[in-house]
Amino acid sequence: MRIGFFTDTYTPQINGVVSSIRLFADALERLGHEVYIFAPTPRQPSDGPRVVRIPSVPFAFQPEMRLASVYSAQAYRLARQANLDVIHSHDPFAIGLFGLAVAKRFRLPYVHTYHTLYPEYVHYVWETRFTRAMAERLSREFCDQCDLVLAPSTKIEKALDEWGVTAPVVTLPTGVDTERFGLTDLKAAAALRARFGVPEGDRLLIFVGRLGLEKNIDLLVEATALLKTPGARLLLVGNGPHRPDLERHIARLGIGDRVTFTGYLQRDDVAAAYAASDAFFFASLSETQGLVVAEAMASGLPVIAVDDLAIADAVTDGVNGLLVPERAADLAAAADRVLGDAELRARMSEESVQRADGLSIDLMAERLSGLYTDVIAGRKPRRSARVAIDATRVGRQIARLRRRSRAIIRHYL
């Protein structure tokens, strides 16, 4: 089939949405489908013949993001010539709306992946009760125009239900490239440690992701200051607007020698960074899935994280990681436990790899292809397997996430 991905988020940006789009596009094409990607300018050298760029300008509040035109005559013409079978949007913004208009014009099924918990990101514009409520309402209204909404985790499925979305919602996580992250290159791992000055015998906790306020990295920094394991260090892989604040926080705690920033890394270097590490360290409460968690699992890492519904889909406390309350002392105690017990690390590592195999991108792409087939035929989509979660706990998690976001904003303002 011919599939149109419409997205306001794409290269040269580096984030989970871009990774999801590229992973699914490549896997769907391996299955024999044609995937056309409609994305904002600027055009990149890596763009293939089926990548269509729509005029855009940098977003004033976040220059790495783009504001695209709501219409492009060239893109419209190319969408018509492609004779698409289904349109799949990845953002509810200009290009997502453009895709919706194309779908209505040519009477095509319209699928949307709700990648981002938008109410938790309004602090990049203006944090108030009104803007949060508006983000929920706009999310609901957009989703209800779709033939199918894909939720990357049970957390998002439940949130959409809380907001009153009536369109069909199916939980389908982004798959992980198990081949890339499952191969341990010890030479590359050693080279990466040497590159960033990590002594061979030191125990390494790793965070991978955008350095944004919503990622709760300050808590990881505070936990690192409390670690008792000799030679324990934190490696922060990624970049973002919160980095200067993190650097000041680290300086105030006096742990500059125990925290290393790598900036953005190429994907092979990211794989080497996972391989060089002993455990994955994560405190975000704003995740819709946490693709980096699945990558870390595929790399054989135990996961030490704040207990959150999106993470609990993949991590079981005491089995392939430790899930703890949102406190620095609890994160530090969990890290010390894992770093200090080689047998526990080995057992959790093996379990992580096995679970990641069940989240492979090829498997998820096959499920997505089946969902496309259903929606094109007008059939009710089959719900994919997911972790059963108590609804009361979901409500508590969502409320807790909201309180955390407001507290952070008050602190920094």
Q: Which domains does the chain have, with CATH numbers?
A: 2-175+362-389 (3.40.50.2000), 178-357 (3.40.50.2000)
Query: 241: cis peptide before it, omega within 30°?
Result: no
pTM exceeds cut of 0.75: yes
Least confident span in 207-211, 342-346, 359-363, 386-390: 386-390
Please, which pLDDT band fits residue 411 given cuts at 50, 70 and 90?
Answer: very low
Rounded distance between C-alpha atoms, residue 394 and residue 389, angstroms: 7
Angle at which helix 267-275 crosses helix 186-195, to 10 degrees, equals 90
Q: Quote the pLDDT of residue 185.
A: 87
Considering only residues 60 and 397, tell me which one the structure prediction assigns the higher pLDDT.
60
**216: alpha, beta or left, given left = phi > 0 and alpha = psi -120 to 50?**
left
Average pLDDT of the residues in 181-200? 92
Rounded distance between C-alpha atoms, residue 160 and residue 158, angstroms: 5
pLDDT at residue 182 tops 90: no
- Report the percent of the chain where pLDDT is more than 70: 89
Take residue 7 and report the two structure tokens written for it. Answer: 């997205």
Least confident span in 12-21, 242-251, 348-357, 385-394: 385-394
Q: Quote the pLDDT of residue 405.
A: 41
Most confident residue range from 11-25, 149-163, 222-236, 372-386: 222-236
Average pLDDT of the residues in 122-151? 81
pLDDT at residue 215 tops 90: yes
Average pLDDT of the residues in 310-332? 96
Q: Quote the pLDDT of residue 119.
A: 64
Q: What angle do CA 96, 101, 107 make, to 5 degrees?
A: 120
Please, which pLDDT band fits residue 17 given cuts at 50, 70 and 90?
Answer: very high
pLDDT at residue 43 tops 80: yes
pLDDT at residue 377 tops 80: yes
Angle at which helix 291-298 crosses helix 267-275, to 10 degrees, equals 60
| 305 neighbors 321 (Cβ within 8 angstroms) | yes
pLDDT at residue 57 tops 60: yes
Q: Quote the pLDDT of residue 15.
A: 87
pLDDT at residue 399 tops 50: no
Q: How many Cα atoms within 13 Å fall on the side-chain side of residue 361?
A: 23
Q: Quote the pLDDT of residue 202.
A: 96
Which one, of 108, 75, 112, lies nearest residue 90 by Cα? 112
Average pLDDT of the residues in 277-289? 92
pLDDT at residue 365 tops 60: yes
Neighbours of 30 (CB within 10 A): 11
Read off the amino acid at residue 318: G
| Helix, strand, or coil (residue 193) | helix
Rg (CA), the chain: 21
